[in-house]
Structure 1
Amino acid sequence: MKVSIMQPNIFMWGGLLKSLLDSDLHVIRDDVKSTKNSRFNRNRIAGNSDVIWLTIPFVKFRDNKLIGEQYLNTSHKTVQKIKQIYTSRYKGYKYYQDTLNLISSTLDFQSDETLLCDVYLKFLKELKLFGFPICEFTLASSLEINKNGEEKYYGLEMVNKILAKTKAETYLAAENTINYAQPDEYKVKNVMLQKYEDLPYKNLDLENAFQFNKNLSSLDIISNLSVKDAIEHVNLSNNWKLFKNFN
C-alpha cells in the first residue's frame, strides 16, 4: 500500500497531481491548524500574461481553526469572478473550455459559504471524471485517530499513526519531509521523497508569448495538454528518491 499525506491544495500544482496518480491512498490533513499564507485555497496561473494567484477567498478565516473548519466563498459572484480571471488568461488555449467546465463543476455549490475540504473533495472527484486515474482519498479526521477523551497525537507521531492505520508499506512524501525527521523515525518500510520540477511544455499558444513558467497550477497543464499528455508530462517531470528502505 502506497500512501501519501498532504494538506488540501485546490487547483494543485503538478507535483501533487503526480502524487495522487502514484499513490494507492491519499490522506488529506484536515485535522491540523490553518495558516493564512497557505495554498489551501489558491494556486498560480499564467496563461497569456504574468503569473498571478487564482484564489477562492476564505470566509471569516481564523488561525486557531482546523483546516477542516475553514470555509470558502462559493457565492455566484465569486465563482463568476474566478471563471472570468481564468478566461482572461486562457481563452483560445486548446483545452480551455474543458478546463473551464472543470472549474465550474468544482465550484458548483448551492451555498455562498462551503467548507474548504468539501470544495477540495469536489475538485478531486471532478479530476477523476475529467479522466485522471487518481487514487482513493480520505480525510485524516475520518480515520478517527484523535478521538475525544483519548490521547492526542501531533507532528511526526500523527504521521506514523496515519501510516499504521492505513497499513502503508510505502510513504510517498514531499521533498521537504527530510527537514522534519530522520529516515528511521518514520514507522514504515519504505519512504520515497518526491523531486518534481515541470519540464517545459507548450504553454505559449498565443501570439503574446511569455517565457515558460514552471510549477504552476495543474489548470495550466490541462489547458494546454490532453489528459494523456498531461499524465506523461507529470511522469517525466517527477522523480521518487528512496529515503528509507527496510526490506
Structure 2
Amino acid sequence: MKVVILQSNYIPWKGYFDLINDADFFCFLDEVQYTKNDWRNRNKLYSKNGIFWLTIPINKKSVNLKISEVTLEDFHWQEKHFKTIIHTYCKSPQFNEIIYFLEDIYLKHKWNFLSDLNQYIIMKICKYSKITTQFADSRHFSLELDRVDRLISIIKQVGGTEYISGIAAKKYLDGQEEKFSQNNIKLIYKAYGPYKQYFQNLPIFENFVSIIDTLMFVPQSDILKYIVSEN
C-alpha cells in the first residue's frame, strides 16, 4: 500500500493533488510546528494583473503552535477571499459550476482552526476531482518524536509498504532514508509534472498557482488529466 504523509496547505497547487492521487492512503501531518510565511495559510492566484497571494490572517498567538492548534483571527477574511476569487475568475468557463463549491467553503461555514479548513477544502476538491485516496489525520495516531521515525510509525500503523515523498522533502528526511528500507518500506521521490496545459486566457501559462485556477478552467470530467503528471 502506497502512503503519503503531508502537512495540510491552503487551496494547494495541482502537484499536491497529483501526490494524493498516487497514494492509497494520505495522512495529514498537522501535529507538527506551524511554519510562518509558508503554504499553510496562503497560496497564489493568477489574474489579468499577474500572480498574487491570497493569505488567511491567523491569530498571532498561534505562531509557535502546531498546525492543528493554529486559530484564525476572525471570520471576515472568508467573505473577502470569496469575493477575490469571484472577481479573479468570474469570466472563466467553469465559474458557474465552481461558484457553489466556493459558497460552501467560504459562506456556509465559519472556520476557527486553520487545519480544519485546509483539510476540508483538500478532501472536497479530491471528491470533486474523483480522487479516491483514503484520508486520515495524524492526531489519531501514536506519534514518535523524531521526524523520520514519526513518518515510519504512521506508515507501519496503516500497513503501508511504500512511502511517496515530494523531492523537496529530502531535506526533511535529513539523510535518514535508510530507516525506510530497514523497516521494509520502499521510499519513492515524486517528480512533479510535466502537466497538461489548459487555456488560462492570459499570455503566459502558470503552473504554480492554486488548484482553484484549474477548477475554473477545466470541466469536472477532465480534471485528473490536468493534475496528474504526464510522464
> TM-score range with shorter-chain normalisation?
0.7 to 0.9
Aligned to 1:173: 165
Correspondence for 2:140 among 130, 142, 147: 142
Which residue does 2:207 correspond to in 1? 214
Q: Does 1:55 align with 2:47?
A: no
Tell me by how many angstroms 1:65 deviates: 0.6
Question: CA 1:74–1:170 in structure 2 vs 1: closer, same or farther (change >3 Å)?
Answer: farther
* TM-score of the pair, normalised by structure 1: 0.83
Which of 190, 213, 223 does residue 194 from structure 1 map onto? 190
Larger mean Cα displacement after TM superposition, 57-66 or 90-99:
57-66
Greater share of strand: 1
Equivalent position SS for 2:62: coil
The answer to whether the Cα contact below 8 Å between 1:156 and 1:181 also exists between their aligned partners in 2 is: no
Inter-CA distance 99–229: structure 2 relative to 1 (3 Å threshold): same
CA drift at 1:214: 1.6
RMSD across aligned positions (CA) = 2.1
Cα distance, 1:194 vs. partner?
1.0
8 Å CA contact retained: 2:195, 2:228: no
The code of the aligned residue for 2:39 comes to: R
1:235 aligns with 2:228: yes
Match of 1:226 in 2: 219
Task: Pick closer, same or farther for the CA change 1:160–1:236 going to 2, 3 Å.
Answer: closer
Q: 1:197, 1:215 within 8 Å by CA — same for their partners in 2?
A: no
Q: Distance in 1 between matches of 2:74 and 2:124?
A: 16
Q: What is the number of residues matched between the two proteins?
A: 227
Q: Distance in 2 between matches of 1:103 and 1:154?
A: 38
Query: For the residues of structure 1 that align with 2:222 and 2:47, how far apart are their CA atoms?
Result: 18
**Residue identity matched to 2:223:** A
Contact 2:129 2:224 in 1 (8 A): no
The 8 Å contact of residues 46 and 220 in structure 1, kept in 2 or not, is answered as yes
Tell me if structure 1 keeps the 8 A contact 2:33–2:64: yes
